[in-house]
Amino acid sequence: MIPVILSGGSGSRLWPLSRALHPKQFLNINADQSLFQTTLTRLAKVIDDPISPIVVSNEDHRFLVAEQCRSLGIKPSAILLESVGRNTAPAIAAATLTAINIGRDELLLVLPADHVIHDLSALKSAIEIGIPEAEKGDIVTFGIIPSKPETGYGYIKVSEVGAHAQAAVAFVEKPNLDTARKYLEDGRYYWNSGMFLFKASAMLKELQTYAPEVLSAVEMALNGVSTDLDFQRLSPDAFAKAPDISIDYAVMERSSKVTVVPLDAGWNDVGSWSAVWEIAEKDQSGNASRGDVLIENTSNTYIHAEHRLVSVVGLKDVIVVETADAVMVAAKDKAQDVKNIVDRLKKNYRPEATSHRKVYRPWGAYDSIDYGDRYQVKRITVAPGQKLSVQMHHHRAEHWIVVTGTAKVTIGGEDILLTENQSTYIPVGIVHALENPGKIPLEMIEVQSGSYLGEDDIVRFSDRYGRVNTSETVAP
């Protein structure tokens, strides 16, 4: 069995914690590990084979995927990079074809990277029930036994009430509240989990029958794949031609070979801040919090504080989330509408929609601690043995001051070593590079000055992370 982890989402409903360049699946929402890492460790406990997943990810998140896998000691079979999001049908098609191309027509267990499942024994039992169904050629999906009338999920209808595998009768769109109540009373409707189990050749046949245009575009994208470190970049031009369509619309709703296995395992797709509140540990007043929080005369509220004390007084059914550069307050029953704020931020080209003040990169991280007219101050951390790209800027000069560690700096072809309290200056237009040759993290303060300080004022000449001549223009 090969796990397939779908990790291309943006998680806009969990703004301001989730951002386009660091979305929810890579955040520690409710545990010490990220949702992506929790998905990987969960797999190790419910399937017998060694975990060597196929991961399908957005190109912008590739180093997050690689680092979070590395920290768990997991080496994926493949990390497939999408240059543009095309929903779950092309992603699953890419994973299916990859498995077949490497000679592994095996069972594929497809899981989104951002779900929470509490009862691992129930999940393991459901997978074991689904295995014989998948081995005979069916496409197995796991239907979540509903615990309440939920209007935020699609539903799958089966013909009989009962906890056994049976054919799907219909896929139903998100209902209104009255309809959801009827579904709950009926007992033949399950929440659509977006988790699947199938043999690679079986899914390939269904794609050929019901979504040939998806399959054709993905085949072309794989034929034009380029290898970059541990990543496989799907051909951007070919993959962009794939229809933007979910696997439900493309295959599941049309196929006659869909089997539903009921699952009651404390499942939550963590799709909004109200869902985070639901899965969090609460006090006697129904409040849940993370960080430095003081609560007074408040109930059924979620408070997330990252950088400062947050106090909440006299509120009920509210979400409060604080980060270094934003604060979001919402009524809990309107938590889904946070995505509208993100849409407005994008429309106004606000950086808060895309990245946090602290941005993680394959070599370390940088934190924009101050900025103003014609200047910006960053705190830069470079991991031991790592190096930034060889680059130059047309519009800005940079002054670097070493706080801790040792910096190897190349300026115009000349190498110098800097240690604590030493500094150097890089004029506009001069080719330069920064490297940490030491054994401890390098901490630096960078002061930028110039007429334009945007992150797209970078000309890269070489880069060990494969970012030369790419569209990535958001990191030094």
Least confident of 150-154, 280-284, 400-404: 150-154
- In this predicted structure, what is the pLDDT of residue 2? 92
Please determine, for residue 468, whether its predicted confidence score (pLDDT) is greater than 90. no
Q: What is the mean pLDDT of residues 59-75?
A: 90
Rounded CA gap, 53 and 76, in Å?
5
Q: What is the mean pLDDT of residues 56-61?
A: 91
Please determine, for residue 378, whether its predicted confidence score (pLDDT) is greater than 70. yes
Please determine, for residue 46, whether its predicted confidence score (pLDDT) is greater than 90. no
pLDDT-based confidence at residue 464 (cuts at 50, 70, 90): confident
What would the two tokens of residue 317 be? 């059914």
Please determine, for residue 465, whether its predicted confidence score (pLDDT) is greater than 60. yes
Least confident of 51-60, 378-387, 427-436: 51-60
pLDDT of 226-242, one tens digit each? 887 789 999 999 999 99
CATH of domain 358-462: 2.60.120.10
Domain ranges of the chain: 2-268, 273-338, 358-462
Residues 2-268, CATH architecture: Alpha-Beta Complex (3.90)
Question: pTM score, two decimals?
Answer: 0.85
- In this predicted structure, what is the pLDDT of residue 277? 95
- In this predicted structure, what is the pLDDT of residue 364? 92
In the chain, the percentage of residues whose pLDDT exceeds 90 is 76
Please determine, for residue 50, whether its predicted confidence score (pLDDT) is greater than 70. no
Q: Do domains 2-268 and 358-462 have the same CATH topology?
A: no
- In this predicted structure, what is the pLDDT of residue 183? 93
pLDDT of 88-115, one tens digit each? 999 999 999 999 988 788 899 999 999 9
pLDDT of 341-350, one tens digit each? 999 999 998 9
Report the candidate in 42, 38, 20 with the shortest Cα–Cα distance to residue 29: 38
- In this predicted structure, what is the pLDDT of residue 473? 38
- In this predicted structure, what is the pLDDT of residue 88? 94
- In this predicted structure, what is the pLDDT of residue 110? 96
pLDDT of 385-399, one tens digit each? 999 999 999 999 999
Residue with tokens 């493309």: 250
Per the prediction, the chain carries an average pLDDT of 92
pLDDT of 310-326, one tens digit each? 999 999 999 999 999 99
